Structure 1
Amino acid sequence: MNSLNELDDYQLTVRGLSDRIVEAQTPIRVLDAVKWDDNVRADFLKHKGKKLPAVDRDYYAGRPLAYDPAAKKLEFQNIERDITRQLGQFNPVGQIMRRMCREYRMVIRMLEARGTEDFGLISQDLYGAASDAFHAGDPTLSDLGLMFSDFLNNIDDRGDLKDEPKNLTAKQAVDLLQHRLNKVFGEAEETIRVFESDGILADAAAGADYIKIRADAMFNERDVKALEVHEGLVHVATTLNGQNQPICTFLAKGPPSSTVTQEGLAILMEVIAFASYPTRLRKLTNRTRAIHMAEEGADFLQVCDFYRQQGFSLEDSYSNASRAFRGSSPTGLPFTKDLSYLKGFIMVYNYIQLAVRKGKLEQIPLLFCGKTTLEDMRTLRQLVDEGLVVAPKYLPPQFSDLNSLSAWMCFSNFLNHLSLDRIEADYANIL
């Protein structure tokens, strides 16, 4: 990595502005700010799921943000102003950094609006809505969720694709995952820690140099493999690659627009590493459907009942439903971050398909050079050529050797032109 005394004046200017963004965003912790306390869960279970959680604007007012929102918004405004003053209006890296400043200001506005209708509206601006289409005339995210559910129902009817029993405790999963990550990251193994945690809603969550495993969760080996590729090979790897950036240090941190790319890349990795499975896909489609229900007016109890009807316990149904309503109210518009998984998967998959079709394979590994956003990929290629961005150090094998991925995408490009409805009719007598 270049030391600061090896950078020229322009590079030092970019580095200085980039560092200011990284520092300014440090106290902004979206998931911490929107999650519900354990006493909300306890009260819901005490009333056997018959009473809406007592969460409103006053509830969030009792959990103030760890910074002054007005001062923080002004800080990002000043950084954005200085980017324009020092780099100019049309400087490519300056345009990326200015957009990041605007996004962070919008994130703060969203968090200020916790418990109100504006929270859900701003969430849709940042992460999208379930009713969004990918292109004119294409299915929406909610359509995709329903379609996947139909496919999964057909698979469920077989009865022979049941999940392996979850026979690994959190501690055993931690040990196994730590062992696998040590083999992947080699010299960085001492910086990547896997440990148990009581304070997370999901089964696992990745930080800058760690992966937390929920202490009361149970796992099987398939789960650990999914965590290895999703949390380790994508989330941790892109963080480390971002931290290796000598100039564009902002790539180590991601605003909401990078969340869509990050989660999409993680789901794609699960698929191409054969680490995904029907129950995992069902979890993602359920999240999309829950958000769509809330967007259409369903309240917390109705979304919770949606999970109960699938056989989830009351406690698990609460946990799943609360993902959709955290930051909002039990009757308000949802927090739409969980759309990032399927939305991002489709967008990243299409991007890689087009890169193969156009012969721009060198673009694909750049998805891992930090917390990237698809709309910045052409600019990032330019920044690599200029020496402002370094290529990713840690890459999954599927992306460090693009032979197999390219072959798959070539077939996929052709298969996309075939009519599956026509094929189904033609194959009716043999399937």
Structure 2
Amino acid sequence: MDEYQQTVRSLSDRIVAAQNPIRVLDAVKWDDSVKQAFLKAKGKEMPQVDRGYYQARPLAFDATAVKHEFQNIERDITRQLGQFNPVGQIMRRMCKEYRMVVRMLEARGTEDFGLISQELYGAASDAFHAGDPTLADLSMMLSDYLNNIDGRGDLKDEPKNLTAKDAVALLQGRLNRTFGEAEGTIRVFESDGIVADAAAGADYIKVRADALFNERDVRALEVHEGLVHVGTTLNGLNQPICTFLAKGPPSSTVTQEGLAILMEVIAFASYPSRLRKLTNRTRAIHMVEQGADFLQVFEFFREQGFDLSHSYGNASRVFRGSSPTGLPFTKDLSYLKGFIMIYNYIQLAVRKGKLEQIPLLFCGKTTLEDMRTLRQLVEEGLVVPPKYLPEQFRDLNALSAWMCFSNFLNHLSLDRIEADYANIL
């Protein structure tokens, strides 16, 4: 490396080290005693979570020291790279985001927690563009579509007859084949400490020990957690200079989850009940933004057909880090929000003939607003192109053809089509 590259690498490594102790989901989750007390009361009493609950569970790191470290790194970025250096601007924004994350975690159980969450991840009432529908509008529209196909016997989910142990073995074998020479470095194992059915780390995927799966579920996990989350982590770890691409601040969460949902769709790994899970989360967050409390959200999930335990789990995702009457934790908006943003980005890249920018989405924990800068950094040799790419993004022929048609279809009026097709459908 030359002196400039060594400076970037040193600053990047400092960001990676400083964020290492921050574990957002561990800091905001409710322990099992809250769930057991709620179920014992048959879902009739509010969970016993308030500001004092979180204060009795202090953060696993010194929040003040971490904030100061990010402030020092940000100051050194400007001193050593200048105000307008492209990679410096990315790293400074990351430092600001991580300081905001720490402030959010310090505010657990207060209104500020929800307000900072909205600043980091967005709100359900946010519009995609001026005059466009909001995320809440999108979730209601998708729910209507799903209701129209609900009840069809041929769309029912297959029985979940795979235990977590079965799913681990099946998923491990598929990932070993997918990542080739990385075989053996990616571990899939059971875990008791997660809320979701599965969660990806740097070189592993955890599967919830008490969850049941079918083969369609495992396929979705392979695509979502494996091809996207693990793949982008490995590509980030493969960066010789911009090592910060191996770690993702909240702004990259939207891109990551959107990319994962898009991959599920184009790999034909998604299905109606999984899509309903995402729309329900968005609708629940919107309900809380409109004033709903935990019991009302819990009843919403009961009306969707979930039992007591699963309804509690779904509702607690919305309120974790907050209180049962507080503002929501809005991270789960990232799925639908990110999908729309990534889809639009790829559409425009095809329309403008900038196909070379599409695979760069996978070069690490990227953020959509940095894509033009990342292309510049690749050209400068500061960032290396992604090593691990899903098949759908390795050969862009089919994706480009699809997006060309999609660009045209966007100009057609669906209401006019519905009227013209009324006699044949």
TM-score range, shorter chain: over 0.9
Task: Report what 1:390 is aligned to.
Answer: 384
Do residues 206 (structure 1) and 200 (structure 2) align?
yes
Distance 1:160 1:297 in 2: 38
Deviations 1:256-300 (A, max 9, x none): 000000000000000000000000000000000000001101000
Task: Report what 1:111 is aligned to.
Answer: 105
Q: 1:193 aligns with which of 168, 181, 187?
A: 187
Residue 118 of structure 1 aligns with an amino acid whose one-letter code is D
SS in 1 for 2:199: strand
Task: Report what 1:177 is aligned to.
Answer: 171
Q: Give 1:160 shift.
A: 2.7
Do residues 53 (structure 1) and 31 (structure 2) align?
no
In structure 2, the gaps of 5 or more residues are none
Q: Give 1:310 shift.
A: 1.4
Do residues 258 (structure 1) and 269 (structure 2) align?
no
Distance 1:271 1:325 in 2: 28
Residue 367 of structure 1 aligns with an amino acid whose one-letter code is L
Distance 2:66 2:15 in 1: 11
Do residues 34 (structure 1) and 33 (structure 2) align?
no
Q: 2:277 aligns with which of 252, 271, 283?
A: 283
Deviations 1:290-345 (A, max 9, x none): 00001101000000000001110000000000000000000000000000000000
Task: Report what 1:350 is aligned to.
Answer: 344
SS in 1 for 2:188: strand
SS in 2 for 1:191: coil
Do residues 422 (structure 1) and 421 (structure 2) align?
no
Task: Report what 1:245 is aligned to.
Answer: 239
Task: Report what 1:96 is aligned to.
Answer: 90
Task: Summarize the alignment of residues 27-176 of structure 1 with structure 2, pairs less than 5 Å apart.
Answer: 27-176=21-170
Deviations 1:142-168 (A, max 9, x none): 000000000000010433310000011
Residue 229 of structure 1 aligns with an amino acid whose one-letter code is V
SS in 1 for 2:366: coil
Do residues 220 (structure 1) and 210 (structure 2) align?
no
Task: Report what 2:308 is aligned to.
Answer: 314
SS in 1 for 2:184: helix
Task: Report what 1:296 is aligned to.
Answer: 290
Distance 2:303 2:219 in 1: 29
Distance 2:107 2:416 in 1: 49
Do residues 337 (structure 1) and 337 (structure 2) align?
no
Distance 1:160 1:181 in 2: 29
Residue 422 of structure 1 aligns with an amino acid whose one-letter code is R
Q: Give 1:70 shift.
A: 1.1
Distance 2:255 2:303 in 1: 32
Q: Give 1:394 shift.
A: 0.1
Q: Give 1:67 shift.
A: 1.2
Do residues 405 (structure 1) and 407 (structure 2) align?
no
Distance 1:314 1:235 in 2: 31
TM-score, with length taken from structure 2:
1.00
In structure 1, the gaps of 5 or more residues are 1-6
Residue 139 of structure 1 aligns with an amino acid whose one-letter code is P
Q: 1:305 aligns with which of 299, 303, 310?
A: 299
Residue 18 of structure 1 aligns with an amino acid whose one-letter code is S
Number of aligned residues: 425
SS in 2 for 1:28: coil
Distance 2:102 2:371 in 1: 26
SS in 2 for 1:213: strand
Distance 1:41 1:157 in 2: 31
RMSD, matched Cα: 0.5
Task: Report what 1:3 is aligned to.
Answer: none
Do residues 9 (structure 1) and 18 (structure 2) align?
no
Distance 1:309 1:97 in 2: 45
Residue 96 of structure 1 aligns with an amino acid whose one-letter code is I
